[in-house]
Structures are given as C-alpha cells and as structure tokens.
C-alpha cells in the first residue's frame, strides 16, 4: 500500500450507510453537529436497506397499539430481548414514519390519509405490515437526497479497519479508501457503527456482498460486549442456482397458492413429517429448518435444493400473486423457464441466511460498552432477542436510526475538545501498510479462497439446525482457516488503487473472528430457542432465558458471561 | 458454454486510453455477466476493477456498457461474445469503475442551491390516490445512471441538455407539492424542452420508469 495518508477530522463518524447509518447521520446533522459518513459501497443509502422487499411493521392499523406491538416483539424474541429496547421500538414506530416523510419521503398509501398497511404477517397478532410498491428504494432515494441537501460529508468505497480506542473510549478510526488508494486517519468525538449483519459468512444468503460484520468485529476488537451471537435467521425459499441468483429471495410457500407442496428428491411431501397440521404453511423458521434438514440428510436435489410444486393450484390465484410480485415470477422464468413461472412444473429452492439478531450490546441510548461508541441497526443486538418478527428490521432502523443519532449528537456536544493520545493510530496505520506489503506471493491463498471455505464451514455447523459435534468440528475448522490466514494471504495486484483483495482480506479477518464467536455462543446455548435450534437439545429450557455476552479480554481470549435480559 | 469477453481496461494514472483485453472462460449460460466478471477477477485477472454490491438488481451499482448497451451487469445474461466497457460520460476511476457519486451530488446540489423548503408535519399528509403515482414513480429510481449514459442528446455536446437523470431528480422534488420554492427558474434553466422524447431512457431504465412522462409534468409546472 502506498504511504499516502490523509487525516480527516469530524465530530461524529458514522461507519456504514444503509438506512440505519443514513438516518442517524441526518439526525446528528439536524442537531447542528458535524458528521461524516463512510461506507464500503458507492451509494448513499445501500446495505440491506436497499434490498428490503417485504413489509414494514407499523402499529397504525385499526385496533393496534404500541403495547400490543411490544408484547409481540417480546414473544417473537422468546424473551431474550432487552425489554427497554423493544419498548423504544414499539413506541417509536408510528412517529418514525412521520419522521421519514419530514425528510422528504412520500410513503405509499391505501387511502389519502392512511399508509398502505396490507398484510397480517406471521408472529404479529394484528395486521401491521406496510407494503411499499417501490419496496426499499423509495425511502433510500429520498433520505439519500436529504443527506446531500444537508451537505453531510460522505466518503464512499472506504473500509474501516480499526477503531482508535484508549482507556475504553473511542477517538476515531483508521481505514482504506480503495477508490483513491489512500489510508485515512479519522478523528471523531463519537463513532456510530451501522455496518449491518453477517450474511457473507454464509454461502447461501439473501444479503449483499458488503454484509461481512465489520462493525461487530471492530467493536469487539475495541473491547465492546457482544451478545446473541448464536441467533441467525433463515428464509426457507431462495434461488439455489445459478451463482448470480443464489440466495435471492423467492418468498414463502404461501406465495405459490394454497395447493403448494414441498417435495424432496424422492418426491415425498416431507412437511407431513415435520408438521402434519400446517404442512407447507408453518412459520419461516420451521420451514427453513425442514428444508435444510432434507438437504443435509441427502434427500435434496443434485443442486442441494428441494422442489416447490405449485401445479395443483387454480390458475386464477396465480394471476393475482403474479401481479403483486412480478419480479419474483420474472426471475423464476429466467432461471427455471416459463413452465415453472406458469405453475405447470415444479422448481427448485433452498433456504438461506437472512438476518442476524446478534451483535453489539447497547444501552437505551445505543451506546456500546466502549465510551462514545454507538451501534445501530443490524450490527446491534437486544431489540429482537432470539428471533426477529417479519417487518421489524426496517422499523428498527427507522426508529433507532433517529434515536441513536440524537443521543450521539447530544453526547458529542458534551465531549470537550481533546487531543488524540500520541501514537494511537500508528499501529493501525502499520497494520494497513503491512497489508500492502504482503502482496503478490503467489504460493499463498487469495482471500476469496479462504472466504469460500469459511462459508462452507458456517453452512454445515451454523445453519438452521445445529448440534454439539458439528459445532466442535466447525470451531476446529475455523481455527485452521485462521492459522492459514495468519500465515499470510496473496493480495493482488501489488497496487493500492481499487485493490479488492485488500478489502477482502480485512473482511476475512472480521469474518474469521466472528465465525469463531458465533460457533462459541451456539455451543454454549444448550437448548433450542427462537432461531437457534439444537438437534441435541431440541427443547426450550427456562434456565436459559439469558443472554450470552462475549467480550475480548486483555489477553485476547474470549470472556464469556451470562446476563439477564434488560439488566 | 465458452464465453469470450473483451473488457476495456484503463488506469488513469498511467494509461493514455482504454485498452481491450480478451478473456475466455467456461461458464453456465444462465449466469450473469457480473458472475463472469467475478470469475475473471478470481481466476484470470486479479487486477480487473469493477463495482457491485447487492447482486440482485436493487442497488444500481454495477451499471456498465455491455455490447454497446447500458445495463446492470447483475441483470444481464452471459453470451458467447461480449464487449464490456465502463458507462460513458463519467470519469473512470479504474477499468469499469466510474465516478457516478460526484455527478449525483452535483445534480442535487444544483437543485438545492435554489431556496427550497419542505413543509413538515406532525401527522399523515393527505395525498389524493389518483396522483399518488406521480410521487411514487420517480422515487423508484435506484440512481444507476443508465439513462444518462444512454441519452442520444448528450452525445451531441452543443445541445447543452442536462440529461434525463437530473430531470428525474428534479421531478422527485418539484412534483411533490410539500416542497415550496422557486422551481420555475430551475425548470427553465434545465431546459426540459430540449428533450426530444425519443424514449431511450425509459426503455433502458431497469425500474421501467417512464421518464419522459415526468418531464412533461415538469414542463406543465414551468408554465403555471
């Protein structure tokens, strides 16, 4: 890497620019505090937010209330949630929609004065899913332009590699801007992590390529507590092939009519074994688990998938469903042909990772256990507990984006001007320069080769069904991959402009640490709860209504602690 | 399938002009060009730079010129012979990566340089369902800029036409009556009437937005 170092000074540094980071930055700016947003992507509002396709929970429907919503969130999370955070979500949801409109978003409407709340999603006691005909894009577009209007500083195509921390207080961060090839040293009074989830640790994921858990890793390395690292949500039906479509959401079984059947390789309607009552219409967790079990037990198709057979439906229903989700049917036609898209032939589908409930432990202000270091959105933990209800991911970022932005702005005003301790950034800069130097030794593996292996390990041991033996084996394999990585990777080309191998290498470093922590947490939780299912401990255990909290000790070892939710 | 890709590479620090490089690889014919590029980077040429994020035609980051057509690489199927170039009209950072961010920033800054103000409220603003589409449709834009790269008027430098993207950006704000301010001079300055309504931008839009329809609405507003 070139020794070109650029110094940047700001008040609030936001790392990651999906909806959570963007909304936090807007709120900071509206409180008269200077803010800089850095993101690995190029667009202002990207991440998982721009990919969001489903509903958004909002307790605006008739007969609904924040209290009913709150109780649903806790029940969905099987009471591992921090009830204080769940309450902020439930009570802030209505106003977060008004806030969005005040940033210039026009939300979709069912009537002139009511939002388009159409669907009663699983796990909610009442109809509260807002469906936007633009999906996630309408919101992203408008809040992106609101950022430009406020002249919020924006630094795209930059990966943060280290937080600057002394005496358990954050002072800024160091990173690599790959579109300029420069090393950046950023000083800030407060830092907000909003880097999203960990989807890229899996081979099959609905998440985009930036979701590598960077913020969770950065916080952990800085000494912040993590929790719920075992809680990973999966969706039952996504495209299994070709590679360009892998993990793209197909939807729930219900999208393929009341007569839909899920079949394994032998043509067996396997859901009759898992849930003879509801069969294909079980919740997404159970469906994902069943599909995964069939594939892992060798009853899947050659493409590691199961069959979705919609052929026994009335055609009229198909036309209705096609009209509401045209792009899904268009992709089905592209991949499986027109007969499959017309329900004349079954097609293949496989489960994929979708959402991460775990991450940085935060208090009611969104602050982590490191002073002045905040976290918001999917990289934070506690709101959803052991499982997230459908539609609550976007509600979370709408509510907490603004909430944490406000708290960070207030804190920033309290931080007296100060000098960054001498030499604090030296090691982080050296770390980056080191990455530039270990280039081009072709006998070493390239980062993507190790990442591919890590994904396979995670699929096998951290999927919708886990057991002690597989977890132990997985932990060993991750340790081996870490040893390989630590011996050095080949980073090509030996140049710092747009060097994606350098970016992948830092992402891989995060992923190796997080994979280990996730497997650790899943091994410790010897029960099944929410999204965490252990075939060797299939029942819920009341004793386990506890959070598993992981922290990096001074010796580099993982410190494990059990906590009571909300305390 | 054997795929032959001719990719124009360019490093502005040392190259005078883009140079075509040929790559041949075996690839599933159902695969996207984005996957072919990933495969090339991982197995044939680690130096190849291109940009992508979601891989699912949602984010608009992987716009490029494939066989002379502006498309999203994640939405374009591989074919036996394909020529890949960066989107025209934007400065090349490296190879297929262009600086679109500066253009988007400049576009909205030009708009917000006028005194514009959004009326804020404490409740739901009533909106007539008949005109709701006017608000929703332009904001389905993902900012991929394929329209800007395709507009034939922009190839004729002397027209001074701003292009379809800035006009769509303006319509996202100007057609929303919650915004107050002097839109008329802005609309005049952007010279909507230079647009010949050839419809190329609407045809190329991955979101299927009928851009000229909104230019016409803007033009109406200019006269009111």
Residues from chain A contacting residue B135 (CB–CB below 8 Å): 106
Residues from chain B contacting residue A135 (CB–CB below 8 Å): 58
Residue A512 has pLDDT above 80, yes or no: yes
A102 contacts B139? CB cut-off 8 A: no
* A492 vs B46, B93, B178: nearest CB: B46
pLDDT in tens, A44-62: 999 999 998 878 999 988 8
Nearest CA in chain A to B50: A498
Residue B177 has pLDDT above 90, yes or no: no
Position A203 scores a pLDDT of 97
All structural domains of chain A with their residue ranges: 9-231+359-414, 238-349, 426-536
The DSSP string of A175-239 is: EEETTTTEEEEEE-SEEEE-----GGGSSSBSS-TT-S-HHHHHHHHTT--EE-TT-EEEEEEE-
* B53 vs A210, A335, A498: nearest CB: A210
pLDDT in tens, A86-134: 999 999 999 999 999 999 999 999 999 999 988 888 889 999 999 888 8
pLDDT in tens, A395-413: 999 999 999 999 999 999 9
Nearest CA in chain A to B135: A106
* B122 vs A98, A248, A500: nearest CB: A98
DSSP-derived 3-state class of residue A38: strand
A115/chain B closest Cα distance in angstroms:
8
Position A494 scores a pLDDT of 76
Residues from chain B contacting residue A500 (CB–CB below 8 Å): 41, 49
Query: Confidence band (pLDDT; 50, 70, 90) for B190?
Result: confident
Position B97 scores a pLDDT of 98
Closest to A279 in 3D by CA, of A301, A312, A303, A302: A312
Beta carbon pairs, A and B, within 8 Å: 160
Pair of tokens at residue B37: 């590029």
Residues from chain B contacting residue A448 (CB–CB below 8 Å): 42
* A243 vs B31, B56, B128: nearest CB: B31
CATH topology of domain A238-349: Flavocytochrome C3; Chain A, domain 1 (3.90.700)
Using an 8 Å Cβ cutoff, are A402 and A91 in contact?
no
Position A283 scores a pLDDT of 86
Position B191 scores a pLDDT of 84
| CATH node for A9-231+359-414 | 3.50.50.60
A137 contacts B53? CB cut-off 8 A: no
Mutate to test the interface with A, among B12, B27, B56 (most CBs of A within 10 A): B56
B128 contacts A115? CB cut-off 8 A: no
A111 Cβ contact list (under 8 Å, min separation 6):
B129
pLDDT in tens, A207-230: 999 999 999 999 999 999 999 999
pLDDT in tens, A301-343: 999 999 999 999 988 888 888 877 788 898 999 999 999 999 9
Torsion of CA A43, A45, A49, A55, to 10 degrees: -120
Mutate to test the interface with B, among A132, A200, A243 (most CBs of B within 10 A): A243
Q: What is the ipTM of this complex?
A: 0.97
What number is the average pLDDT over the span A273-278?
94
* B124 vs A42, A114, A136: nearest CB: A114
- Range with lowest mean pLDDT among A30-39, A488-497, B78-87: A488-497
Nearest CA in chain A to B60: A43
Fold identical between A9-231+359-414 and A426-536? no
What number is the average pLDDT over the span B165-171?
96
B211 Cβ contact list (under 8 Å, min separation 6):
B147, B164, B167, B168, B201, B202, B205
A248 contacts B139? CB cut-off 8 A: no
A500 contacts B136? CB cut-off 8 A: no
CATH architecture assignment, domain B101-223: Orthogonal Bundle (1.10)
The DSSP string of chain B is: -EEEEEEEE--TTT-SS-EEEEEEEE--TTSBHHHHHHHHHHHT-TT-----SSSSSSS-TTEEEETTEEEEGGGSB--SEEEEEPPTTS-EEETTEE--HHHHHHHHHHHHTS-EEEPP-SSPPP--TTTHHHHHGGGG-----HHHHH-GGGGSGGG----HHHHHHHHHHHT-TTEEE-HHHHHHHTTGGG-----HHHHH-TT---HHHHHHHHHHHHH-
Residue A437 has pLDDT above 70, yes or no: no
Q: Which helix (H) or strand (E) holds A155?
A: strand A153-155
How far from chain centre, in Å, is Cα A230?
Answer: 13
Residues from chain A contacting residue B169 (CB–CB below 8 Å): 145
A51 contacts B112? CB cut-off 8 A: no
Q: Which helix (H) or strand (E) holds A15?
A: strand A12-15
Its CATH class, for the domain covering B2-98, is: alpha beta
All structural domains of chain B with their residue ranges: 2-98, 101-223
A50 contacts B142? CB cut-off 8 A: yes
Report the half-sphere exposure of A309 (CA within 13 A, side-chain side). Answer: 13
A493 contacts B47? CB cut-off 8 A: yes
B195/chain A closest Cα distance in angstroms:
24
A174/chain B closest Cα distance in angstroms:
22
B203/chain A closest Cα distance in angstroms:
17
Position B223 scores a pLDDT of 62
A493 contacts B59? CB cut-off 8 A: no
Mutate to test the interface with A, among B38, B94, B139 (most CBs of A within 10 A): B139
Q: Is the dihedral of CA B55, B58, B59, B60 positive or negative?
A: positive
Owner of token pair 């001007």: A417
B106 Cβ contact list (under 8 Å, min separation 6):
none
Residues from chain A contacting residue B94 (CB–CB below 8 Å): 497-498
* A50 vs B54, B122, B173: nearest CB: B54
A137 contacts B142? CB cut-off 8 A: yes
pLDDT in tens, B193-211: 889 999 999 999 999 999 9
* B54 vs A114, A145, A208: nearest CB: A208
Helices and strands (H and E) in chain A: how many: 15, 23
Residue A160 has pLDDT above 90, yes or no: yes
* B141 vs A141, A335, A497: nearest CB: A141
pTM above 0.95, yes or no: yes
A489/chain B closest Cα distance in angstroms:
14
DSSP-derived 3-state class of residue A458: helix
Query: Confidence band (pLDDT; 50, 70, 90) for A537?
Result: very high
Q: Environment class of residue A533 by beta-carbon count within 10 Å: exposed (0-12), middle (13-18) or buried (19+)?
A: buried
* B93 vs A101, A335, A498: nearest CB: A498
| CATH node for A426-536 | 1.20.58.100
Closest to A355 in 3D by CA, of A459, A239, A211: A211
A148 contacts B109? CB cut-off 8 A: yes
Nearest CA in chain A to B117: A104
Residues from chain B contacting residue A4 (CB–CB below 8 Å): none
Q: How far apart are CA A372 and CA A414, in angstroms?
A: 10
A50 contacts B101? CB cut-off 8 A: no
Position A464 scores a pLDDT of 97
Closest to A547 in 3D by CA, of A383, A393, A391: A383
Residues from chain B contacting residue A501 (CB–CB below 8 Å): 46
Closest to B92 in 3D by CA, of B22, B205, B14: B14
Q: What is the mean pLDDT of chain A?
A: 94
pLDDT in tens, B109-157: 999 999 899 999 999 989 999 889 888 999 999 999 999 999 999 987 6
């Amino acid at each position: 890497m070139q020794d070109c170092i650029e110094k940047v000074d700001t008040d609030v540094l936001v790392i990651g620019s999906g909806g959570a980071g963007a909304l936090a930055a807007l709120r900071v700016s509206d409180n008269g505090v200077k803010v800089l947003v850095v993101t690995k992507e190029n667009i202002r509002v990207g991440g998982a937010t721009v990919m969001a396709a489903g509903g958004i929970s909002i307790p605006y429907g008739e007969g609904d209330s924040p209290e009913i919503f709150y109780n649903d969130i806790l029940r969905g999370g099987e009471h591992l949630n921090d009830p204080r955070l769940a309450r902020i979500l439930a009570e802030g949801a209505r106003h977060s929609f008004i806030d969005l409109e005040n940033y210039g978003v026009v939300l979709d409407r069912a009537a002139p004065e009511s939002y388009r709340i159409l669907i009663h999603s699983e796990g909610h006691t009442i109809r509260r899913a807002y469906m936007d005909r633009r999906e996630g894009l309408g919101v992203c577009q408008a809040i992106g332009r609101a950022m430009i209007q406020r002249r919020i500083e924006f630094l795209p195509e930059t990966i943060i590699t280290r937080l600057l921390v002394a005496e358990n207080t954050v002072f800024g961060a160091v990173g690599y801007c790959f579109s300029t090839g420069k090393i950046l040293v950023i000083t800030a009074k407060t830092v907000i992590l909003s880097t999203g989830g960990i989807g890229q640790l899996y081979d099959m994921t609905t998440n985009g390529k930036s979701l590598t858990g960077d913020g969770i890793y950065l916080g952990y390395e800085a000494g912040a507590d993590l929790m719920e690292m075992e809680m990973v949500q999966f969706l039952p039906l996504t495209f299994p092939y070709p590679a360009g479509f892998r993990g793209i959401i197909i939807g729930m079984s219900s999208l393929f009519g009341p007569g839909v059947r899920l079949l394994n390789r032998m043509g067996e309607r396997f859901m009759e074994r898992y849930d003879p009552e509801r069969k294909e219409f079980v919740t997404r967790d159970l469906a994902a688990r069943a599909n995964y079990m069939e594939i892992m037990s060798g009853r899947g198709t050659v493409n590691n998938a199961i069959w979705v057979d919609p052929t026994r439906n009335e055609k009229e229903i198909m036309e209705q469903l096609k009209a509401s989700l045209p792009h899904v049917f268009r992709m089905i036609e592209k991949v499986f042909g027109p007969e499959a898209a017309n329900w004349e032939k079954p097609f293949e589908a496989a489960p994929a990772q979708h959402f991460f409930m775990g991450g940085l432990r935060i208090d009611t202000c969104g602050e982590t256990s490191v002073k002045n270091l905040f976290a918001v959105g999917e990289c934070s933990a506690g709101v959803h507990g052991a499982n997230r209800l459908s539609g609550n991911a976007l509600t979370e970022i709408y509510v907490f984006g603004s909430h944490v932005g406000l708290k960070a702005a207030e804190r920033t005003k309290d931080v007296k001007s100060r000098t960054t301790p001498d030499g604090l950034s030296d090691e982080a800069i050296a770390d980056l320069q080191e990455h530039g130097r270990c280039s081009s030794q072709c006998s070493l593996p390239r980062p993507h080769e190790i990442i591919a292996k890590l994904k396979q390990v995670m699929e096998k041991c951290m999927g919708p069904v886990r057991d002690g033996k597989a977890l132990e084996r997985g932990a060993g394999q991750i340790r081996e991959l870490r040893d390989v990585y630590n011996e050095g990777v080949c980073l090509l080309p030996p140049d710092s402009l747009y060097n994606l191998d350098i970016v992948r290498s830092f992402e891989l470093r995060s992923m190796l640490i997080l994979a280990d922590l996730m497997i650790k947490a899943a091994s410790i939780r010897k029960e099944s709860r929410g999204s965490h299912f252990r075939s060797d401990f299939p029942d819920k255990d009341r004793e386990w209504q506890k959070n598993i909290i992981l922290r990096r000790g001074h010796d580099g070892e993982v410190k494990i602690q059990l906590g009571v939710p909300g305390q | 399938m054997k795929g032959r890709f001719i990719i124009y590479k360019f490093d502005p620090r040392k190259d005078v002009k883009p140079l075509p490089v040929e790559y041949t690889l075996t690839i599933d014919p159902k695969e996207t060009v984005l996957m072919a590029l990933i495969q090339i980077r991982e197995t044939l040429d680690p130096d190849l730079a291109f940009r992508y994020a979601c891989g699912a035609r949602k984010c608009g980051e992987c716009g490029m010129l494939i066989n002379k057509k502006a498309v999203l690489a994640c939405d374009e199927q591989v074919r036996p012979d394909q020529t890949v170039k960066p989107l025209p009209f934007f400065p090349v950072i490296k190879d297929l990566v262009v600086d679109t961010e500066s253009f988007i920033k400049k576009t909205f800054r030009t708009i917000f340089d006028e005194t514009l103000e959004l009326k804020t409220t404490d409740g739901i603003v009533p909106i007539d369902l008949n005109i709701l589409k006017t608000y929703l449709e332009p904001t389905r834009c993902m900012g991929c800029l394929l329209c800007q790269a395709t507009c034939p008027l922009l190839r004729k430098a002397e027209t001074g036409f701003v292009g379809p993207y800035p006009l769509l950006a303006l319509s996202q704000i100007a057609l929303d009556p919650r915004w107050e301010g002097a839109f008329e001079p802005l609309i005049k300055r952007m010279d909507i009437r230079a647009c010949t309504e050839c419809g190329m931008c609407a045809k190329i839009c991955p979101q299927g937005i009928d851009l000229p329809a909104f230019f016409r609405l803007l033009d109406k507003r200019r006269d009111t």
